[in-house]
Amino acid sequence: MAEDLVLDTAIRDWVLIPLSVVMVLIGILRYFVSKLMRSFQVPDPKIVKEGQVIVRARNLRAAANFIPPKPFRSRRVYFSNEENGLLFVPKGQAQNAQAQMFSDPNMAMDMMKKNLSMIIPQTLTFAWVNFFFSGFVAAKIPFPLTQRFRSMLQNGIDLSTVDVSYVSSRSWYFLNLFGLRGLFSLILGEENATDDTQRMMQMSGFGFDPSKSLSAEKDGLDIVQHEWALPKFEHRAEAVLKKLVS
């Protein structure tokens, strides 16, 4: 079990390198296609306004100690007033945001387009790898692994005695899939469409953003205690002037 399998250099030449090259090329192709297909999304005025309200509320929270107490209180009421405060979102409306997102035809199309551009190349490449490069050991992982990884990494290899460190080309494909992200950001600059993993994470935390952050800001604002920092400034000014004059 501890013997070393000698892997043919032909595997390296004809499997590992071509696979990486193909994935890089497909990534570049996808980047340009997504650039072409990107439609200009008209920002919804309501969403823009909410975004700005959030920024303003955040500023209020951050710098609350710089303005006198009365203006602070009047602003706080303005924002979190029960009836017509800016940050107040009635309960019923809050739920609708996500449902609305899926029923809105434009947005649904956009999401579908983005998903497609990600899924199709992945599926095709995966099928290609499986078809051509299965049934043999492609590489050896430099660190030892437990047996549980066998099913994942050694898919085409039906020998159970082979050390788990010897993996099939499918695992090389996955390695490239996640690893080439860094390379792409070098070649294509930031903001490239090949950032699948990031997009997958984004998809799960979608929608619902506006109303949730509004109520979060409202809570934050309610908590803030106003401690007017200006009286301290008088003393500091005194100190500054003393140093200046002496």
Contact positions toward another protein, by CB under 8 A? 42-43, 45, 48-49, 52-53, 55-56, 59-60, 62-64, 66-68, 71, 230-231, 233-238, 240-245
State in angstroms the smallest separation of the CB of 83 from another protein.
18
> Closest Cα to residue 30, out of 195, 199, 197, 194?
194
Give the span between the Cα atoms of 136 and 147, in whole angstroms: 18
State in angstroms the smallest separation of the CB of 99 from another protein.
24
User: Is the distance from CB of 194 to CB of 181 less than 8 angstroms?
Assistant: yes
* C-beta of 18 vs 68, nearer to another protein: 68
State in angstroms the smallest separation of the CB of 88 from another protein.
16
* C-beta of 222 vs 238, nearer to another protein: 238
> Closest Cα to residue 121, out of 194, 181, 203?
194
* C-beta of 208 vs 233, nearer to another protein: 233
Those residues with Cβ within 8 angstroms of residue 147's Cβ, 6 or more apart along the chain or in another chain: 164
State in angstroms the smallest separation of the CB of 165 from another protein.
51
Give the span between the Cα atoms of 128 and 144, in whole angstroms: 28
Phi, psi torsion values for 167, nearest 5 degrees: -115, 165
What separation, in Å, do the N-terminal and C-terminal C-alpha atoms of the chain show?
A: 84
DSSP 143: S
* C-beta of 71 vs 179, nearer to another protein: 71
> Closest Cα to residue 214, out of 63, 74, 93, 108?
93
* C-beta of 59 vs 202, nearer to another protein: 59
Give the span between the Cα atoms of 52 and 61, in whole angstroms: 14
* C-beta of 51 vs 207, nearer to another protein: 51
State in angstroms the smallest separation of the CB of 61 from another protein.
9
Instruction: Tell me the one-letter amino acid at 51.
Output: G
* C-beta of 74 vs 202, nearer to another protein: 74
Residues 205, 208, 213, 219: is their CA dihedral positive or negative?
A: negative
State in angstroms the smallest separation of the CB of 35 from another protein.
15
Residue 112: other Cβ atoms inside 10 A:
10
State in angstroms the smallest separation of the CB of 33 from another protein.
21
